Amino acid sequence: MGDGARGRSANARPATEQAAHPQPRVKPVPRQRISAGRQSAAIMLMIFCFYGVSLAAALALAALAVLMILRGRIFSIVLAVTCASSALAIVRTVIPRREPFEAPGPRITARQEPELFKAIAEVAHAVGERPPDDVFIVADINAAVMEHGGFLGFRGRRALMFGLPLAQVLTVTEFKSVLAHEFGHFQAKDTKLSPWVYRMRMAIGRSLARLEHGLLEIPTLWFGKLFLKTSMRLSRETEFDADAVAARVAGPRASIDALRKVERVAPLFPAYWSSEAVPLLQARYRPSITEGFARFLQAKRVRTQLAKKFQEAIEARKASEYDSHPPTSERVAAIEALPAEKSRLRVADDPRPAISMLRTLEAIEFDLLVGLGGAEACIELDPIDWNAAGGAVYLPMWAKTVERLRPKLRALDPSDLPGRALDVDWMTRTLVRAEWQDAPHAQRQSIGLWILGAALAHLLQRKGHRIDCTVGEVITFHHRDSTRGGGDGDQASNDTHARIAPFEVLWDLAERKITPTEWAERCEAFGITGAGLGGEDLDLTV
């Protein structure tokens, strides 16, 4: 049912437009900063205190167990076993665990992508750090660095990971600013402390799980919150420092533009993935992930609706003391407040899309899909062009849905939809599978409206109307007699009697945005009055 999201989801301006629209200037607010060194020392002290107190408690319990055993009484032996098991539980809970490293995505090499590695080496040299040992590509609008192998961050291998869609929305210069930011974390030795912080959080979590409803739960919970707040505050401070490195290397303008683009476009990739890519993958097809995302960002609906929706959500969100990153507005203000002499460009300016540096893009995409679904599953996927998605994927999907529910849809006329779209109980009894009968009201409504939309779409196709499955846009059927076109608002496509968006119109009927009379006129215009939604025309003869 991935198509349901496509009929209702929202949008943001593409990366090429974002830099062209000036952003409101945020006046720098002086921040009371504690040096990263002092915060790191405080975190290490908390780690040592936590482990010290925990191990001291375990030793005390073990000593008490030995004392009870020496007394030799039955009650003492029972108490000794209890103390010994508690001591062992504490040790097992707090002891650091070395987890095997799992590659976050396909690993690429300098031989495979020489231009990309040249850019990485250029930025590493400008920062004064050695290049990473490993470079991974992930399916996300993000970048990160870490150290793996070794022991708790020492003598480990440096790893850089960045999202393939991130390279789509940034220019080469902006991408270099992101690389410089990540190398700033290497320079500040943030990756040395992070394994300790991570293991500490896991140990506190395990302790809380074992101490649930116990006497030690409250102090452990208090200490855990204090540690989380302190470590997150340090994380936010390190982001400001890494931003300063990025501005010094790639220039403040590129750093600010990169921050703003990432903030605005990051929520769009999950929307694209769930509503556009997943339905094709589930239908055993393999589309071009990057081409589809590029089309998604250029869609009119994405530019005008989804971008506004996500931007409003970003602006409405309040900063939390548990956030790992400061708000983008504060980061931009901090960059703008940097002294000019610390913001000169140290790498070559390059306005090309960063993804143009990749020469094995198709192979990288395939490797990403292998990481998500396994090699055997991906080998069985058939390549598909996005223009063919409607006929190859959606039409068979809707036909299958109608065939499964044919007895229940056979007597349903399209003119009945205004009443049926309002009746969630009827949709639940008639259309929703048994396993979803007890789902929340909103979920049952969404499922029922999707099924009715699928039946309506199947009917429109059966009557010869033309489907438009443009990536990022609402699935629409244009009247078979209308002039070909659409998308960006030609007169025919804007005429409500020349187009029907089946999934969108069902929600409009459910929300009473379209009256039954208006809907009846559209059914007449499309010649579907009296045509059963179950695949057979109704006999309306009296």
Residue 74 has a pLDDT of 67
Residue 380 has pLDDT above 80, yes or no: yes
Give the model's pLDDT for residue 486: 46
Backbone region of residue 530 per phi and psi (left: phi > 0; alpha: psi in -120 to 50; beta: other values): left
Cα(56)–Cα(160) distance, rounded to whole angstroms? 39
**Rounded CA separation 101/219 (Å):** 33
| Amino acid 503: pLDDT | 95
Please determine, for residue 504, whether its predicted confidence score (pLDDT) is greater than 70.
yes
- Asked if residue 82 has pLDDT above 70, the reply is yes
Residue 70: which pLDDT band, with cuts at 50, 70 and 90? Answer: confident
Quick one: pLDDT at residue 493?
Answer: 42
Pairing relationship of beta strands 134-138 and 157-163 according to DSSP bridges: parallel
Strand segments (E) across 95-188: 107-108, 134-138, 143-148, 157-163
Q: Residue 481 CB: number of other CB atoms within 10 A?
A: 13
The rounded distance, in Å, linking the Cα atoms of 346 and 124 is 11
**Full DSSP string of 235-277:** HHHHHHHHHHHHHHHH-HHHHHHHHHHHHHHTTHHHHHIIIII
- For 340-374, the pLDDT digits (tens) are 765 566 788 899 999 999 999 999 999 998 887 77
Which three-class secondary structure string do you get for 188-242? Answer: CCHHHHHHHHHHHHHHHHHHHHHCCCCCCHHHHHHHHHHHHHHHHHHHHHHHHHH
Mean pLDDT of 485-495: 45
pLDDT higher for 484 or 424?
424
pTM of the model: 0.76
454 burial (CB, 10 Å; 0-12 / 13-18 / 19+) is buried
Q: Taking the domains of the chain in order of start, what are their residue ranges? A: 10-21+100-188+235-378, 36-94, 386-526
pLDDT (mean) for 170-177: 96
* Dihedral class, residue 90 (left if φ above 0, else alpha if ψ from -120 to 50, else beta): alpha
Could you tell me what percent of the chain has a pLDDT over 90? 44
Q: Kindly indicate the confidence band of residue 36, based on its pLDDT and cuts at 50, 70 and 90.
A: low
How many Cβ atoms from other residues are within 10 Å of residue 385's Cβ? Answer: 11
Mean pLDDT to the nearest integer, 10-19:
38
Residue 49: pLDDT band by 50, 70, 90 thresholds? Answer: confident
